Structure 1
Amino acid sequence: MNNKPYVLVTGSSSGIGKSIAIQLSNEYNVVLHGRNRERLVDVREECNKNNRHFIWECDLNEIHSVEENLKNFLASNGIEISFYVHSAGFMKMLPLKMQSVDNLQMTFTTNVFSASLITKCLISKKINKNSLKSVVFISSNISNRGAKAFSSYAASKGALDSLMRCLAVELAPQVRLNSVLPGAVQTEMTKDIFNDKEVAERMSATYPLGIGYATDIADVVAFLLSDNARWITGQQLTVDGGRTIDITG
C-alpha cells in the first residue's frame, strides 16, 4: 500500500513546474495541475511509476470556481495534500503605455489570487483534514528589483512574496511557507531566447555561474519541502546563479 504524502504542483505541464513535478515524483505522490490534459498525461509518463499521480485539470483564471473545483477533486479521489508548490504563472512583457486591465487581471489572478485561494482550501480541516505541512511559491528574482516592461509581472511576484511572508506567520507552526526566486533558466518556453547566440551570450555574461536549468530550481524546492528545512519559513530563496549580486559595470 502506498502511504506516501501527496504534493500538488500547479503549472506542472511545462517548464519549471514540469521539472519540479518529475523530481518530486521520486519521493511523493504528485497531483499534476494544468489546463492541457494531454500535456499533463505526458508529464505523468515521465514521473516515477512506483508512486501514484493524479491530474487536476483546472483553469486558474476562472478564479471564482477554483476553490470548489479543488474541493471536489480532493473529495472525488479521496486524497489529502501535504505539500503545495505554486509554479503556475503568467507573464506578458508590456511597457506601461500599453498596459491594460485585462493583462493586470490575468497576471495577478494566475500568479497571486489563485495561490492564496488554493492555500486557503488546503488549510481547511473539512476539505484537507489539516494535512498541509509546507508550501513553496515560485516567484522570480525580479520580485525585489526592476526592469523595463516587467511592471505587472514584477508587481505580481512582489505581491506573491508578501503573501508568503504573511501566511508564514499566520499559519505557523502547522505550515511552513517559502518562496524560490529563480533567475533565467533554460526551459521549453525560453529556448528560442537562448537559441539567439547574441542574446544568450549577453545574458550569460551577467550570470557568474552561467544560465541555470529547471532542475536547479526543482532541487531547491525539494529541499524546502523536506524535513531538512524544518526551521525555515517566511524566506525568499534566490536561485539565479549569482545574477542579482553581480554589479559589474
Structure 2
Amino acid sequence: MSILEFVNQDELDDLDEDPRMAFMQLVNAAQRSLSAKIDALDPDNQYEWQKIEEFRYSFMNVVVAAGKRFEIEPFHSMEVPQYSNFRDADHRQFKSDLDHYVTQLVLDNSLRAKRDSVEVLPKTKDQLRTYISGLRQCIENGNMSASKREALLKRLDAFETELEKRRLNMLAVARLAYLVLSVPGTVWASVDITHKLTTNIMQTVAEAKAAEDETKQLPAVAPPKALSAPRRPAALPPPPFEDDLDDDVPF
C-alpha cells in the first residue's frame, strides 16, 4: 500500500526541512488517516477485519520507511516483520512505542520553536503592520508578473498570520525578506522604499529577539538528544551451570 494512502502529496510537499520535524508531521498525518480508515470498518466482519490488519501493517511500513529516510532512530534501524507474522499485538506495541518517541519529538520541537521565535509586544506588532501595509503598496504598484505579485502578497499574508500568534517565527521573517530582496530592483516603483521597509521589519524583529534573549537568557542551542526507548532492553539470561564441572578438575 502506497504512502499516498496515508499522506497526500500536498502534505508531503509541506513537510518541514528539519528531518525530526518532518518525521513528526508525517506520522501525525498518517495516524489521522489510519484512524479514519479503521473507524469506517467493522472489526466483527472478517473481510473488514483483514482490511484493518492490512491498513495497520501498511502504516507501520510507512512509518519505518520514513524513519529510515529521515534517519530517525530507532526506526532507522528497525525491520518491518513479514506480513504473515504481523498480529494485532504487534500493531498495539508499535503504536505504543511510536507514541513514546513522538512525544519526545514534540517536546524537542517545542523547545526549538521557542528558541527560533520571539514574543512581539502589541506596540511592536503595530509597527510591523505599518511596514507590511507599506510593503503591500510597493508590491501592488510594482511592474512585475502576476505570478510574482501573487507569491509576494501570499507571503505577506502568511507573515501577518504569524503576527496573530503569541510568538513570531523568525523563519517567517527571513523568508519574507529573502523573497522581497530577490526581486530585481527595476520592477519596483521605488526600490529604496521597498528595501527600507524590508530592513525595518528585520531590524524591529531582531531588536525584539535581542531584548528577549537578554531578559530570559535562553539556553544555547544544542544538538538534539537521541530519543530514549520506552523500556530497558531485557537482561541476558545467566550462563547455564555446568553440573559436571567437578569431573574436569584434575585433583
Structures share a fold, TM > 0.5? no
* Between structures 1 and 2, the one with greater strand share: 1
* Between structures 1 and 2, the one with greater helix share: 2
**Which of 1 and 2 has greater Rg?**
2
* TM-score tier after normalising by the smaller chain length: under 0.3
TM-score under structure 2 normalisation?
0.27
TM-score under structure 1 normalisation?
0.27
